[in-house]
């Protein structure tokens, strides 16, 4: 009986140590570490990739939280946030920036990374929030930084929530009826 208790205690300490050393995996971490020309890889990588119950997602990042968790998107000014609500209650979020933050994802990479982290799991809703009037739907296909000196990036003539919803729907391969778009004032967004 004592040996059984020692075995259970050892197993518990091993699992606790493993969980303490693991951190939520982000799709942007994997996007930057994938070799050039590499095929698709799962966003959770080879490790356990257990999401936490809270995440702060800054510009150009994509992260996941467990069911019942909360995502904070800080300082959303000219950005859009995209939050995927999974059937199991989990959330996967992206903070899309008009201009790339060094070392983070561009606007034309963000939906692919979000879709990779979602991993084909059942989606019940996609919420797009932020500076809707500052965004042209094409920024999800070709980032502003991708245009050459002799090219003119498209600029939105008016807010286009329908166009943004369509771009997000296509980029994530989810039905358009699941995507909502909302223009919200500048500031932090908290989604739970």
Q: Is residue 58 classed as helix, strand or coil in its secondary structure?
A: coil
pLDDT by 10s per residue, the chain, length 192: 444 333 433 333 333 333 333 344 444 444 443 433 333 333 333 235 678 999 999 999 999 999 999 999 999 999 999 999 999 999 999 999 999 999 999 999 999 999 999 998 999 999 999 999 999 999 999 999 999 999 999 999 999 999 999 999 999 999 999 999 999 999 999 999
d(CA 164, CA 166): 5
Specify the pTM.
Answer: 0.75
Do 140 and 96 contact (CB within 8 A), yes or no? yes
CA distance 94 to 101: 14
The widest CA-to-CA distance across the chain, in whole angstroms, is: 77
pLDDT at 51: 85
Coil, helix or strand for 4? helix
At residue 97, the pLDDT reads: 97
Tell which residue, 30, 49, 50, has the closest CA to residue 40: 30
Is residue 98 left, alpha or beta, with left meaning phi > 0 and alpha meaning psi from -120 to 50?
Answer: alpha
Distance from C-alpha of 84 to C-alpha of 81, rounded to nearest angstrom: 10
Q: Return the SS3 of 191.
A: strand
pLDDT, residue 50, reads 74
Residue 31 host element (H or E): helix 27-33
Question: Left if phi > 0, otherwise alpha if psi is -120 to 50, otherwise beta: which for 89?
Answer: left
């Amino acid at each position: 009986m004592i040996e059984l208790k020692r075995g259970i205690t050892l197993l518990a300490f091993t699992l606790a140590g493993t969980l303490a050393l693991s951190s939520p995996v982000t799709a942007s971490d994997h996007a930057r570490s994938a070799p050039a020309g590499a095929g698709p890889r799962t966003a959770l990588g080879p490790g356990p990739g257990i999401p936490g119950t809270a995440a702060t997602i800054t510009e150009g990042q994509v992260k996941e939280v467990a069911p019942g968790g909360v995502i904070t998107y800080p300082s959303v000014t000219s950005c859009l946030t995209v939050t995927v609500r999974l059937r199991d209650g989990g959330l996967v979020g992206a903070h899309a920036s008009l201009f790339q933050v060094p070392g983070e994802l561009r606007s034309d990479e963000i939906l692919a990374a979000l879709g990779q982290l979602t991993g084909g799991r059942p989606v019940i809703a996609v919420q797009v929030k932020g500076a809707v009037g500052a965004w042209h739907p094409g920024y999800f296909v070709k980032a502003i930084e991708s245009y050459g000196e002799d090219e003119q990036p498209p600029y939105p003539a008016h807010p286009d929530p329908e166009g943004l919803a369509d771009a997000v729907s296509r980029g994530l391969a989810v039905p358009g009826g699941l995507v909502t778009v909302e223009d919200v004032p500048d500031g932090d967004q908290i989604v739970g």
